[in-house]
Chain A
């Protein structure tokens, strides 16, 4: 017994000594790594700070879908990002109107974009961003399309303490129950689109209609369908006669469309996106559902009209972020459309515009904050200052990091009314954002910590 006691006492003393030495060592380690300049006590090292912004260049990691059902939209998004980076680095006038303090780069650093294909899959996106963090010490991440990716990167951003600039993401959850302190969204989303397009539908088609919904089976689809249905049932007395839920990447919609054909619906509210939307719109026509049933697109798909042709989008109402003819109304939009078209030979769709704006806003926030230190940049966003955009003046809502911005309602033009080969949509209404949004806590947003 006494032997045991002695033994235990000896072990614990030795362990204590080891632990003490280890602790002392580990406490010394960060001090020796951090350079004196950035070791200010109020800006402790975190994520890729300060290592990521110590060179001449800062890197932003982009994971966009370049393959799969959302590939077309991903490429457009990427072009918007590339143009923005180019404009930041050359101190372009357009970008300076949004971010006045940039000067051939941000805070004296060039910005470089590194890109990986997410295939619209959350795992791929997170893995690539992790690689970017390890290899390039990226100071911000971007890219979504698939809200499933956005939600995953939200959580990843919060954990890694690296800013995430959400690209295309329509789910309520992105700035709702899955919001994050480190994440910011500039585009429109399910709830705002529903509240913007709902009144237009009720006004144009009347009350008490029957609608069939087509919903892709993930966070984006379910939240958009819910928001639209909530509005139409409560404000218009519409009825959802069927909700056809399909997996992302569905090619043959015959089963779903057959169910809709037998449902007695007068409207098809098509929430599908990317190629799923293209195929479902084409096949709805093949099955003779449209134009007898009217198609409604609550969350616009870039290139939909280009891919299916104006005959299928004629008369279709859609809610969107941006359409290029808004250049007539907003000078920034005009400058953007011109400069994009010059570089890429087509007029930008809303994915590109959204991506460009994300980066312009980021450049503004960092240059205004005067530092890359993430909590300070976040606080700059959270000041909620008003700044110009391609859709007029906008500001961030500090409680959930959602941009307060208008939703654009468009209606498909007939082929004979098109003034050029990309004149697919008429802008019917630009609905101010404030009245469209839910209360900041209504979708359960809890932002999380700064550090």
Chain B
């Protein structure tokens, strides 16, 4: 199957996967960049998004409503999580932060399992995007094409917020030096809350967009969390463009290696991460000194 048609098809698969990883990773990277907290519950946010979207879809039958309600719900969960728990951990050692977010992740997963069971749930793609599209080099599920578009729009929106608004400027300044931002009289803690909410929302949104592709189950976020970390390491911690680049690179490595032997897809991904860590410890687009 090593031929041009398959190569182009796999490159395209890589792009779709990469865009999704980029969106989830951008949430993780801005939280870590700004707050210095490595959010191990980020995979659970992805999962929660899927379930919130599924519930909203079940009630309204509208995918658009599911998308909006689901992301707002996960944003709310993110904000509450930050207000009630995470903020007490800003000054505590990193191990404590890792443990508390890891624990929260387990709580979210098991809570969802308690209420919804382990049976996977299917969110059908919106009627407009059902069926398959012939791309010439391959037939592709129409919804996966649409999801590429939806994720691209979401990434663009995130870019505009981060680079074209006052709040985005504060967030980016916070990533470089949050103490300095604080001394300039800006309430960093309010910004932290917002960043946590937006970061969680990015994962939640991705979770809903991905739901019709894979159908959802309580542990759907576990595997994606690992890939997301790799993306952030490759792209550079705290770098939004890094998350984009890292996502695409990871997606392409997984897909193109799969053409030769799917068994080595993740091996190659970790090889790439190792190479980046050796030659550019701060990631491809990261900067030294960021925490």
Name B141's contact: one of A66, A244, A255, A286 (CB within 8 Å): A286
Quick check: B132 and A262 within 8 Å, CB to CB? no
Quick check: B6 and A258 within 8 Å, CB to CB? yes
Q: Determine the chain A residues whose CB is within 8 A of the CB of B223 once the complex forms.
A: 249, 251
B interface footprint on A224-249 (CB within 8 Å = 1, 0 otherwise): 00000000000000000010111101
Report B136 CB to chain A, min CB distance, Å: 13
Contact A287-B258, Cβ < 8 Å, known A251-B220, A252-B17:
no
Whether a CB of chain B sits under 8 angstroms from the CB of A256 is: yes
Whether a CB of chain B sits under 8 angstroms from the CB of A71 is: yes
Name A287's contact: one of B10, B140, B218 (CB within 8 Å): B140
Quick check: B1 and A242 within 8 Å, CB to CB? yes
Report B183 CB to chain A, min CB distance, Å: 45
Q: A71-B118, A249-B223, A287-B139 are in contact. List 13 more A-B contacts (CB 8 A).
A: A72-B119, A75-B118, A245-B262, A245-B263, A251-B220, A254-B255, A255-B265, A259-B259, A262-B5, A263-B1, A282-B215, A283-B213, A286-B143
Name A67's contact: one of B3, B118, B141, B213 (CB within 8 Å): B118
Name A258's contact: one of B119, B138, B219 (CB within 8 Å): B138
A interface footprint on B75-96 (CB within 8 Å = 1, 0 otherwise): 0000000000000000000000
> CB-nearest residue of chain B relative to A74?
B118
The CA-CA distance from A255 to B7 in the complex, in Å, is 11
Whether a CB of chain A sits under 8 angstroms from the CB of B16 is: yes
Report A292 CB to chain B, min CB distance, Å: 10
Show 5 residue pairs from A and B whose CB-CB distance is below 8 angstroms, ordered by the A residue: A255-B262, A258-B13, A282-B215, A286-B144, A286-B213
Quick check: B262 and A244 within 8 Å, CB to CB? yes
Whether a CB of chain A sits under 8 angstroms from the CB of B9 is: yes
Quick check: B214 and A251 within 8 Å, CB to CB? yes
> CB-nearest residue of chain B relative to A246?
B262
Quick check: B9 and A252 within 8 Å, CB to CB? no
The CA-CA distance from A282 to B144 in the complex, in Å, is 13
Q: Determine the chain B residues whose CB is within 8 A of the CB of A246 once the complex forms.
A: 262
The CA-CA distance from A82 to B56 in the complex, in Å, is 36
Contact A278-B141, Cβ < 8 Å, known A72-B118, A242-B1, A263-B1:
no
The CA-CA distance from A177 to B263 in the complex, in Å, is 24
The CA-CA distance from A279 to B262 in the complex, in Å, is 17
Quick check: A252 and B139 within 8 Å, CB to CB? no
Contact residues, B21-60 vs A (CB, 8 A): none
Name B214's contact: one of A66, A279, A288 (CB within 8 Å): A279
The CA-CA distance from A166 to B218 in the complex, in Å, is 27
Whether a CB of chain B sits under 8 angstroms from the CB of A393 is: no
Point out residues on A near B: beta carbons under 8 Å.
Answer: 66-68, 71-72, 75, 217, 242, 244-247, 249, 251-252, 254-256, 258-259, 261-263, 275, 278-279, 282-283, 286-288, 303, 307
Report A435 CB to chain B, min CB distance, Å: 35
Quick check: A286 and B1 within 8 Å, CB to CB? no
The CA-CA distance from A256 to B219 in the complex, in Å, is 21
The CA-CA distance from A259 to B9 in the complex, in Å, is 9
Contact A287-B141, Cβ < 8 Å, known A71-B118, A307-B119:
yes
Interface SS majority for chain B: helix
Whether a CB of chain A sits under 8 angstroms from the CB of B120 is: yes
Point out residues on B near A: beta carbons under 8 Å.
Answer: 1, 3, 5-6, 9-10, 13, 16-17, 113, 118-120, 122, 132, 138-141, 143-144, 213-215, 217-220, 223, 254-255, 258-259, 262-263, 265-266
Contact A256-B132, Cβ < 8 Å, known A262-B3, A286-B141:
no
Q: Determine the chain B residues whose CB is within 8 A of the CB of A71 once the complex forms.
A: 118, 217
Quick check: A67 and B113 within 8 Å, CB to CB? yes
> CB-nearest residue of chain B relative to A251?
B214
Contact A262-B1, Cβ < 8 Å, known A279-B215, A282-B122, A287-B140:
yes
Nearest 6 pairs of A and B residues by beta carbon: A255-B258, A71-B118, A286-B141, A262-B6, A288-B132, A288-B139
Interface centre among A72, A252, A261 (most CB of B within 10 A): A252
Quick check: B13 and A254 within 8 Å, CB to CB? yes
Report B130 CB to chain A, min CB distance, Å: 9
Quick check: B132 and A286 within 8 Å, CB to CB? yes
Quick check: B1 and A254 within 8 Å, CB to CB? no
Interface centre among A75, A249, A254 (most CB of B within 10 A): A254
Q: Determine the chain B residues whose CB is within 8 A of the CB of A67 once the complex forms.
A: 113, 118, 218-219
Contact A261-B138, Cβ < 8 Å, known A67-B118, A242-B1:
yes
Q: Determine the chain B residues whose CB is within 8 A of the CB of A245 once the complex forms.
A: 262-263
Contact A255-B118, Cβ < 8 Å, known A261-B138, A287-B132, A288-B132:
no
Q: Determine the chain A residues whose CB is within 8 A of the CB of B17 once the complex forms.
A: 252, 254
Name B10's contact: one of A66, A244, A255, A282 (CB within 8 Å): A255
> CB-nearest residue of chain B relative to A249?
B223
